A and B are shown apart, each in its own frame.
Chain A
Amino acid sequence: MALDEQLPRPTDAELEILAVLWSIGPATVRQVYELISQRRPAQYSTILKFMQIMTEKGLVVRDEESRAHVYKASRSREWTQRQLAGHLLERAFSGSAKALLIGALSAKKTSKSELAELQKLLDEYAARAK
């Protein structure tokens, strides 16, 4: 699919709309607007305009069968994530960001074999508890 590769990198505003579509699934402009305005002041007409442009670019697909137009993202979330993460600057910055990250998991990932071992440990514990 040569067309896929030519899909432009979404701008920040477009990315926000895409994130909403991935979060709640296919949605109308009204639904997207409501979720975005929870977080920051936004205009319905602006969101509508953006989504029309994104349709032209091929970032979202409009389903015109129902009365209210339902939009969905044209590409999967993972595809876009890979597209964004491949960017050179993104790589450099996200690498250094690990120093300031705090979260349930460390930035260092666990290997697959270790994960299997972990699973075994948990099962053993559950079996013993019974």
Chain B
Amino acid sequence: MKLLDLFVGTPFSEALGWTLLHSLWEGLIVAAALAVFLSVVRSPRTRYAAAGVALLAMLASLAITFIQFLPGGENSARTLIKTTHQAWKELPAMTGTNSQVSNFVTLIPCLAPLWLVGVCLFYSGYAAAWLYLHRLQRRGICAAPDSWQRAVKRLALELQVKRPVVLLESLLADTPMVLGYFRPVVMVPLGFLSGLPRDCVEAIVLHELAHICRSDYLVNACQRLIEGLLFYHPAVWWISRVMRTERENCCDDMVVMLRGDPHGYAKALTALEQSRLERQWPARDAVVAATGGNLMKRVKRLLYPKGPSGIWAPIFAAVVLMASATMVLSAWQENHSPVSVSEQTGKKLDTPWQRWLNEDVVYIISKEERVAFERLKTDEERQKFVEQFWEQRDPTPGTPENEFKEEHYRRIAYANGHYAYGQTPGWKSGRGRTYILHGPPDEIESHPTGGIYGRPASEGGGFADTYPFEDWRYRYLEGVSNQTIEFVDPTMSGEFRIASDLKEKYKSR
């Protein structure tokens, strides 16, 4: 458990958590694009390729997003991912007191271990499958009779399969299948070769050889690995299913192209399914899904191939694509303007409240109070907040007078009256700010025109030419006694800045 806590705390797991969350919408966009494409295209080869590209795109977006979120990847250019991410992170602040959302954000690093567990489960399932298939090639098998071996060689030549193909009969296989990539094996159930008419068997074997020709075993393995990584995403399951369907369609088309008899081939497929059901083993598979019907679709496609789609499908697809593109773009632009939380919410505040927050109490309000105030939605709430704000600071609670508030506004008025320069109001100036925060100093040493000044020994002694400056002395300031704040006006405009160094007032240092 301790180990898990440690892992959740790392930037790695936080990056992973955000990546998984963002992959949800990224995958949806990929799937939507694929759906639009599929509504236009009929050719199974193109559809298959498109689904494959979509799957790779999902994997790539996962990887890219992850790199973006890793510490160190932050400096890369601003992207769609980052802006939406910003919007997502600011969601709790913008929607006000939505603590559920902020709770959710803290849970994000916990997604990483959950995801890892899921991937491990899927991958161990695949490992078990691989071991089983490996064993299937060793156990309860028998080389097919010579006449069939020769037939397979001839069919392989027709399809231009370069690798030598072995035909095996298996006691444990319940349907014809292809195993292996480098040394491909066509495995058929025992009794399949003698149980069906010869041309049926040849058509089915041709289908299996078409799989070998297209390297489907390898592609399927890669597809499963990606599926295992993105197992939480429904879009991946859908894309993967499209790939499986189109893969079979491609092989069907190859068989029909070579033999030219769609009806005979459809009959062969049906007969094969029939014989599988008749054998009815293992007994546990006797219960079958009523909606498994992908064979039905395949047979219909073989018998009644559809021509190129009508004119409306592409137009419809184009409209859908454009609409979704506009939506994504507008959403992107909304999120793109890089505004901070306070600015965004500040704009939403009505002017008097904004003035109160950013002028009246700007120096004395605490960070927490500011955040709380920004989250308020109604004017009543704000009114109440302001009252409480002053009440908490009242030195004599219970009396109608609030000495603190009165003194505060008096200081603002004084600062505005005495320390304004140019277009800048007094409360914004350095002296104004100090006056409002700490009140009148106990002593002011003013040099409004600067000039020659007898330098104290601590600053080097002798005489030096200075800018206009003022020293404010407080006997007691923030718990420290005898404090001096120096203001210097190097631009001679009346803007006295707080000097961080006593040497700032000298013209030549």
| Chain A interface residues (CB < 8 Å from chain B) | 12, 15-16, 18-20, 22-24, 35-36, 38-39, 77-78, 80-82, 84-86, 91-94, 96-115, 117-119, 121-122, 125-126, 129
Determine whether the beta carbon of A19 is less than 8 Å from that of B142. yes
Provide the residues of chain B in CB contact with A39, threshold 8 Å. 141-143, 168
Across the interface, do B132 and A115 meet the contact criterion of CB distance under 8 Å?
no
Say yes or no: B133 contacts A122, CB within 8 Å. Answer: no
The listed residue (B130, B170, B178, B267) touching A102 by CB distance below 8 A is B178
A122 contacts B292, C-beta separation under 8 Å: no
A93 with B131: CB separation less than 8 A: yes
In the complex, the number of residue pairs spanning A and B with C-beta atoms less than 8 Å apart equals: 189
B133: chain A residues at CB < 8 Å are: 97, 100-101
Secondary structure class of chain A's binding surface, majority of residues: helix
Quick check: is B342 within 8 A (CB to CB) of the other chain? no
How close is A9's CB to chain B, nearest CB, in angstroms?
12
The answer to whether A114 touches B296 (Cβ under 8 A) is: yes
The smallest C-beta distance from B201 to any residue of chain A, in angstroms, reads 11
Contacts A110-B295, A121-B300 known; A100 to B171 CB distance under 8 Å? no
A35 to B142, Cβ gap below 8 A? Answer: yes
Q: Which A residues are in CB contact (< 8 Å) with B129?
A: 93, 96-100
**Contacts A20-B142, A96-B129 hold; do A103 and B274 have CB atoms under 8 A apart?**
no
Interchain CA distance A39-B146 in the complex, whole Å? 12
Going nearest first, the 3 A-B pairs with the smallest beta carbon separation are A85-B282, A93-B132, A103-B177
Which of B20-28, B102-110, B213-221, B423-431 lies at the interface? B213-221
Complex-state Cα separation, A94 to B172, whole angstroms: 10
Asked if B77 CB lies within 8 Å of chain A CBs, one says: no
Indicate if the CB atoms of B143 and A110 lie closer than 8 Å.
no
Contact (Cβ within 8 A) B177 A118: no
Q: Which residue of A lies closest to B251 (CB)?
A: A104
Residue contact B267 to A122, C-beta cutoff 8 Å: yes
Query: Are A106 and B142 in contact, CB atoms less than 8 angstroms apart?
Result: no
Complex A-B: 10 CB contacts under 8 Å = A84-B172, A86-B283, A93-B129, A102-B220, A104-B208, A106-B248, A109-B276, A109-B288, A109-B289, A115-B277
